[in-house]
Amino acid sequence: MAEFDYDVIVVGAGAGGLVVAGGTAALGLKVALVEKGKLGGESLNYGCVPSKAIIHAANVARDLKKAQKIGIDIQLSHIELKKITDYIHHVQDTVGSADSKEALEKQGIKVIQGFATFVDNHTLDVDGVKTTAKKFCIATGSRPEIPPIEGLKETGFLTNETILSMEKLPESLLVVGGGSTGLEFAQTFSRFGCKVTVLEKLEHLFPNDDPEIGPLMEKLLTDEGIELILGCDIKKFYGKDGKKTSRVKHQGMEKEFAAEDILIAAGRTPNISHLDLKMARVKYDQNGIKVNKRLRTSVSNIWACGDAVGHYQFTHMAAHQAGVVIANMIFRYPRKVNYAFVPWCTFTDPEVANVGMTENMAKEKGIRCETAKFEFKDLDRAVCDDAEVGFLKLLIKKNKIIGAACVGPDAGNIIHELILAASAKLSILDISRAIHIHPTLAQINAKAVSTYLGQKYASQVTKNMAQFMFNFLT
């Protein structure tokens, strides 16, 4: 039997890699974790954690501006971006303490920091030092994709990896990309007083969400002062009059949009080009590493998870996939990834959360279903909180939820009850019978279901049956 330095080597210390390394080490295996950058990966260092911290700061600024409406006289004099970035770093230090080298090595994980390339399917070269393992998991994540637009590199730009290192708030900002990252930063910097313009090649925002969400969010963001240039084609970037300027084709005309800085938020690309995967005979393409439903690659002793495989680039998906890797790699339990009810959320204000199918997806697949909808303006707690914009919509088939979309306050938390119901194939009657605390935002789940049931069973036949049972059977 061959001798290896480690039982398992995990390449990449982001959400997926940390779960695989921690899980395998807890099972008594000899584990190494290799990372060329910062421990904690994209989520801790440049993504979920810092972006949500700055969104919190922006929402505080919004609340201060709205305070006079409810009788509290507070003036927002100015924004100190340096102090906000200090707060972000404090949050990162607090959250990231569990992912430090010291904390990981206490779990029995050998942390190796360096640039890794494969020599063969059992050997990794890390900065010139060869290390072997019986099995590998690749979890190297993704990075911002930079579109090949003329003049962009020469003009200069920011990404989510650099924008939070700014110490001075720009007076104006061009955001290239109207996806979740672009919109979250656009709204955040707009609330800090920055003039923001979003350039998006698609005709509408939220194209993969419920069809009612895009028009609603476009209106809300525009009303908030964000300029949305949708359906545009960016031709080039250049400097002009001290500003970074874009030439754009929009609605059949050539237009210019200028700002103090540019944020590129035009998607992400897998971090795999540096790994020399061909040496290990691992198949891949521009979308990521090729894996089967059990996340095994084309090589029997190598698995992959997270953004590196290209499916649903979310931190929670990477962590979920990591559990599938552990089940198959260690226990040989044939667990497969289930993509049927993958939830996602855009943390704008209001938040936009989805799980399962949308109405458009159901129509494309020929699935006949019914919808249930309830608006936040009719929910007591939303009225109390001055958060009445938005709605919850359910897609229901045979009393089971096959999809849900929520746009409104705290939508990312509200939708979890529906994620469980859909995943566990619970009946909507189970939601209706559960007691929901009043007044809470989560009551909207029960309200939507109850409204649907009330309409469904309010037929004349049902009424006649009820009257008969009441008068003659009781």
Kindly report, residue by residue over 115-174, the tens digit of the pLDDT: 999 999 999 999 999 999 999 999 999 999 999 999 999 999 999 999 998 989 999 999
Any domain includes 461: no
User: Which residue numbers are catalytic?
Assistant: 438
Asked if residue 160 and residue 127 are part of one domain, the reply reads no
- Shared domain for 237 and 157, answered yes or no, is yes
**Rounded to 5 degrees, what are φ and ψ at 64?**
-65, -40
Query: Domain containing 319: what range?
Result: 6-39+100-144+269-329
Give residue 310's pLDDT: 86
DSSP symbol at 201? S
Indicate if 323 and 421 belong to the same structural domain. Answer: no
Please tell me whether residues 255 and 277 are part of one structural domain.
no
For residue 284, the cross-strand partners are 289
Instruction: Assess whether 405 and 448 both reside in one domain.
Output: yes
Which CATH number fits the domain that encloses residue 106? Answer: 3.50.50.60
Look at residue 472 and tell me if it is in a domain: no
Specify whether 257 is located in the same domain as 278.
no
Q: Does residue 18 belong to any structural domain of this protein?
A: yes
Same domain as 321, residue 262? no
Instruction: Tally the domains of the chain.
Output: 3
pLDDT reported for residue 437 = 97
* CA 10, chain centre distance (Å): 23
Specify if 241 maps to a domain.
Answer: yes
Q: Does 193 share its domain with 227? A: yes
Q: How far apart are CA 208 and CA 358, in angstroms?
A: 8
Token pair belonging to 392 = 């919850």
Neighbours of 457 (CB within 10 A): 12
pTM of the complete model? 0.94
- Give pLDDT, residue 456: 79
291 and 357, same domain (yes or no): no
SS3 of 147, please? Answer: coil
Residue ending a domain, choose from 282, 306, 329: 329
Whether 353 and 406 have beta carbons less than 8 Å apart is answered as: yes
Which segments of 54-114 are extended strands (E)?
Answer: 109-113
- 10 shares its domain with 131: yes
According to the model, what pLDDT value does residue 77 have? 77
Query: Is 89 among the domain residues?
Result: no
Distance CA 25, CA 32 (A): 9
- Please give the pLDDT value at position 460: 63
Query: What residues contact residue 213 under an 8 Å CB cut-off, 6+ apart?
Result: 206, 352, 405, 407
What tens digit of pLDDT does each residue of 436-468 get?
999 999 999 999 999 999 887 766 666 777 777
Check whether 177 has a pLDDT greater than 60.
Answer: yes
Kindly state whether residues 224 and 281 are assigned to the same domain.
Answer: no
